[in-house]
Structure 1
Amino acid sequence: MIRILILALLLAVPAGAAAQTGDAPLAPSLRQNVIVTDELVRIGDLIDNAGPAAQIAVFRAPDLGATGTVAVHRVVDAVRAHDVFAINTYGLKEITVTRASRNIGNTDIQERIASAIAGQYRIGEAKNIGITFDRNVTAISVEPGIVGDLAVTRLSFDPRSGRFDVTLDVPGSHVVRRGTLRFTGVAAEVFETAVLTRQVARGEVLRASDIVIERRPKRELSADSVADPGAVIGMAARAPIRAGQSLRRADLMKPELVARNEPVTLIFQAPGISLTVRGTATEPGTKGDVINVVNTHSKRQIQGVVTGPGEVTVSSGRPRITASLSSESVTGTPRRSAQ
């Protein structure tokens, strides 16, 4: 009986100790990467298991969207003043603190201004209005809980010069309210056009890698400007074209398959007959062009159609017949000629 009692006591002691351990508060531990949504950094943002001191502010937060670093010894000193001790720092030397934000990018700003100008001044569709700022414009950072769109509070625009002056606001944002979101620049109607990425020489054939699509002001384009890259790939430059120039149909031609004074293959074709001789082109030509060629053997000049690189074809729909048969009737009976 005594042995059973002793064993029961021995088993009861660890259970009691375990209960006390489970009820004990967890030790404070440092966070390596901290994200805050307020202007102030509180102990609970920096330290897990900070207890009653968690809501006490100890540092000022970075600007919206910015990230800063804090040395660990500064954190330890700051929280010690509020009775937070024995912090597990995991051997860290510094931690990062990021202030969360919602970013309104450059594209959002441009689209809002374009929409306002299109709606108020009727210069075209908003999607076809290009905005160029006088200075570099960076993203606007607002509080993460703000979901409202950009609002235009003031707008002036000169349709002749394209100059604009606009002030924007983000309803509900305390940060934006402290400053002024004013932008100046030029707005112009723009359209997509094919632009060369490199300089090309006369007669050079354009490849897909030579062309990009850009939005250019309408005043820089002409009626025959090309917007479809498929319409110019495989075409040749009629004259030298510099890099960055928008392409016009007048700048291009079908690739030159025969050059002036170039040796060519002359192909004579008729039903049941095909004859190949050498010749010399007296003029350049693209596919389908009719050009003059000198027969190298007979020295006679002949007209033919350019059908391939260095190839000119002379075709006849019927075999050539002699002049004495030209007066035959449809039935084939010879007709007596007038004396």
Structure 2
Amino acid sequence: MMTRSARPLLLAAALLASTAMSAMAGEADDQIKAPVLRSTVSVSGDIVRVGDLIENAGAAANVAVYRAPDLGTTGVLPAAQVIATLRSHQVIGVEVRDIKEVAVTRLARAIDAKEVGTAVAQALEHRNGLGDAASLSISFDQSVQDLKFDAAISGTLAPTAVRFDPRSGRFDVTLELGYANGTTPVRLRYTGTAIETVDVSVLTRNIERNELIRSGDLQTERRSRAELGGAEPASRELAVGMQMRRAIRAGQALKTTDLSKPDLVQRDQAVTLIYQTAGIYLTTRGKALESGTEGDVVSVLNLQSKRTVSGRVTGRGQVTVDTVGGAKPQQTSEAEIAAPVAVASRLPASATTKAE
């Protein structure tokens, strides 16, 4: 007869056995889980295997069934055709669900023409006097096609051989693409011409010598640095309001050497002639015999005395003959100083002047 103390032990043993049997049944369910068809498949190699097409492929996962589409392309197969192919390889019981077709994409590393151009420019950067890569204009001898490589290629385009002739602008560059698994890298060779370009201000109309430049006379373009002949390009900010040193046709790029400050005094212009000497400041009318910008020394006819004097341009329509110490534009006599009739300002009576 079973004692009361033995009954709890038997119940515990039964529960443990039941739990163990449930766990074993669950593991068995996992092991025999039905294979399921995939609607989209991505492969990195040139072969499609059973494990690519279905989940839970088991031992058949590595069996090859199709050749992959071309690099970077997608092929579509009817689901019924895929199931028939799998059956021919003894893979049965595949759950199709509501899948009508299977899309297979072959992964690829794509290299486009822009990436090639950037890699070549970076290889030539600062070589034999060239500037930054961003300032280089690259022209290839042959059209650069977009390229596709095996997805296992993960490296960047790196230069392995670079030659550049600064006289002709010709380049010969070999680039290399490396595999992540250490396979022999792919090498690509390109030849062509490299030109350094800069932003320049280009005239939109013909401009004559001594003419002032307006904002509407300019547009900004990228031009070859060689076009400037070694001079610095003139920016729009610098050029507007400046005066041309020489006549230039529309379409030409402006250089800093083409520009000068605008003339404040024009030849044959009526000007104010200012005399300064110790103790006195006098003005009179004059006629400019030369053009000049601020700081230039020009000849002026004193209309009062009918004599020609030299002075420095100090403002628009204003020439100053400074006779107070230091270097003088021209030695001026006391009579010449006294000749003006318009007195702009006079020092206090305590000051002494030679003109009084």
Partner of 1:105: 116
Partner of 2:9: none
Structure 1: 5+ residue stretches without partners: 1-8, 119-123, 296-300
Secondary structure in 2 matching 1:101:
strand
- The 10-residue stretch of structure 1 (16-25 or 99-108) with the greater mean CA deviation from structure 2: 16-25
TM-score (norm 1): 0.53
Aligned with 1:132 (options 136, 139, 145): 139
**Cα distance in 1 for residues equivalent to 2:191 and 2:97:** 52
Shift of 1:226: 1.3
Identity within the alignment, % = 28
Tell me if 1:204 matches 2:213. yes
Shift of 1:26: 6.2
Tell me if 1:68 matches 2:83. no
Partner of 1:250: 257
Shift of 1:175: 8.5
**Cα distance in 2 for residues equivalent to 1:324 and 1:175:** 89
**Cα distance in 1 for residues equivalent to 2:119 and 2:295:** 51
Alignment of 1:12-51 (within 5 A): 20=25, 23-24=29-30, 25=33, 28-30=36-38, 32=40, 34=42, 36-51=43-58
One-letter amino acid of the counterpart of residue 87, structure 1: V
Question: How many pairs were matched up?
Answer: 295
Partner of 1:87: 96
Deviations 1:113-153 (A, max 9, x none): x49xx6xxxxx25768875321222455444346494544x
Matched-pair contact (CA < 8 Å) for 2:274–2:283: yes
Task: Note closer, same or farther for the CA distance 1:334–1:280 as it changes in structure 2 (3 Å cut).
Answer: closer
Alignment of 1:90-239 (within 5 A): 95=103, 97-101=105-109, 103=111, 105-112=116-123, 114=124, 124=128, 132-138=139-145, 141-143=148-150, 144-145=152-153, 147=155, 149-152=158-161, 176=186, 181-186=188-193, 190-191=195-196, 193-196=198-201, 199=204, 202=207, 203-205=212-214, 210-211=219-220, 216=224, 218=226, 220-223=227-230, 225-226=231-232, 229=235, 232=238, 234=240, 236=242, 238=244, 239=247
Matched-pair contact (CA < 8 Å) for 2:46–2:68: yes
Matched-pair contact (CA < 8 Å) for 1:269–1:315: yes
Matched-pair contact (CA < 8 Å) for 1:32–1:96: yes
One-letter amino acid of the counterpart of residue 97, structure 1: T
Task: Note closer, same or farther for the CA distance 1:334–1:151 as it changes in structure 2 (3 Å cut).
Answer: closer
Task: Note closer, same or farther for the CA distance 1:100–1:333 as it changes in structure 2 (3 Å cut).
Answer: closer
TM-score (norm 2): 0.52
**Cα distance in 2 for residues equivalent to 1:77 and 1:247:** 74
RMSD, matched Cα: 6.1
Shift of 1:60: 1.8
Task: Note closer, same or farther for the CA distance 1:87–1:193 as it changes in structure 2 (3 Å cut).
Answer: same
Structure 2: 5+ residue stretches without partners: 1-13, 303-307, 325-332, 339-350
**Cα distance in 2 for residues equivalent to 1:47 and 1:137:** 40
